[in-house]
Amino acid sequence: MENFLWGVAAGILGVVALVFFAFTVFRRGALTFQIDGFYTHVVDGDVGPFIRDVQADVPDAEVCRLDDRMSCSIREAVQSCGDAGRPDCNVLLLSGGGQWGAYGAGLFDTLSRHSADELALPGIGVITGISTGSLQALMLMVALDPKQAPAMRRFALDRLVWGYSPERESEVVHNTGLISVPLFGSAAGTAPLRRRVIEALMPGGDESLIEAIGQSSIDGFVGFVEAERGVFRYAEVKELVNTAPSAVAAAEALAAATMASSAMPVFHQQLRVAGSDGKALSLYDGGVRRSVFFDRAMAAVDQEVREMMTKAHRGEHALASMEQASFAQEYEDKAPTVYVVRNGPTARKKDDRLNTSSGPLKNGQRGYDLLVNESEIGAIAGLRLNNPYGRILLTSADRYDTFPSDVGENFKKDEMFKPAFMARLRDLGRHKAERPEGPWWPLSPIERS
């Protein structure tokens, strides 16, 4: 009996040793970039006035400052609105969504093809991107820049579409599924994504797109979360390019920023970027904090518009006495138009299976989907609080499963990047760009009491 017990114990220890060995061998670990000077071009994002009120009793809470490059870009855009020499005062916000970014790729590609000057969206001065929107932002800084040659704008759009047209999921990620998280440390390895982002930016070593991004007249910003402090941060795209020692180094820096913005914890391999001091910080998908990181910029828009209106009416008293309709109209006329692309749906599909079956993976996935959806929608709706009367135009990937199309497939299962589904989303972008009412609809202004 004693020998039997010793045998059982030895067997258990053997299994434990085997599991430990597999864990250490197969665990992916963090994907790390070494980018000298990277954090020189990164600033903390402001939480916005409303969240600051909520956190009023937090020791050493963040203090608002409106002198960083993004706010300065917004200030310049507001002040240039209506100036014939500087019409580039509008803003484009690109949300996260992973493979759903194929919708935005199809949308802008089609809008460009149907535009007389091939500009998919005119008058853009500032672009921000989160997660999949960060890759879109890089390409659209060139594709929407009227100062670029038409051929270069088309080249940028072609690379954008290419990025969302993989032939196999393995070209983007090594998807081993949520069930493998305890072994691998994440549901997907992202080394293929690193290669794909760089190939999108420098196809065959071509440096022209990198150069065009650095020379763009549009300011671009990419957001992510610093894991150590839990703080939302963003990087200025053109600075990452223009301070790099070479085009190859610039492409690496841009890949680091976009992958930091896309590194969803648990789902994607952990991402670290080491700066000049050699310390590698872990960075997360910016969507875990805010999907449309424009709180500070929207506050800057509101501040600048009100200051302009105060000067025009020679005092706050005259401004306060204006009728609501007149105030709202003048505010709208002076404020930039803000375009928002929701790279995904705004509501989750009904799933009856959750009432008849159970399981931690299925329930966890559903909970994740619901939380992400609420975060996305709340972030977009929250834009209106800091900009009560300006034009905010939205488009989304809703109706992806009902619009008339025979392209691709209108469903996905556990695939993170399903080629047939992404083809369907690109076609949805085409469909909305071509429908009579167009792809955009407005958010209602806030009533002024």
Q: In this structure, what token pair is assigned to residue 369?
A: 């989907």
Q: Which is nearest to 268 in space by CA: 31, 19, 33?
A: 31
Distance CA 154, CA 212 (A): 12
- 119, 88 contact by CB (below 8 A): no
Half-sphere exposure of 341 (CA within 13 A, CB side): 31
Helix crossing, 132-143 with 247-262: angle to 10°? 140
* End-to-end CA separation in angstroms for the chain: 85
Alpha-carbon span 339 to 124, nearest angstrom: 9
Helices vs. strands in the chain: H and E counts, helices first: 17, 13
Pick from 169, 132, 175, 138: which is nearest to 156 by CA?
138
Out of 73, 95, 112, 131, pick the active-site residue: 131
Positive or negative torsion for Cα 437, 442, 444, 445: negative
Catalytic residue among 285, 295, 302, 427: 285
CA dihedral 173, 178, 183, 185 (to 10 degrees): 60
Radius of gyration for the chain, computed over Cα atoms and rounded to the nearest angstrom: 24
- Do the beta carbons of residue 110 and residue 358 sit within 8 Å? no
Going by C-alpha positions, the residue among 224, 287, 281, 289 that lies closest to residue 258 is: 224
Beta strands in 16-133 (DSSP E): 31-34, 42-44, 90-94, 124-130
CA distance 212 to 232: 28
Place of tokens 């401004």: 319
Three-state DSSP class for residue 359: coil
- Residue 321 falls in the annotated catalytic set: no
Identify the DSSP state of 227: T
131 tagged catalytic: yes
Q: Which amino acid is at 140?
A: L
Q: How far apart are CA 439 and CA 120, in angstroms?
A: 12
* In contact, 308 and 314? CB cutoff 8 Å: no
Report the catalytic residues. Answer: 131, 285
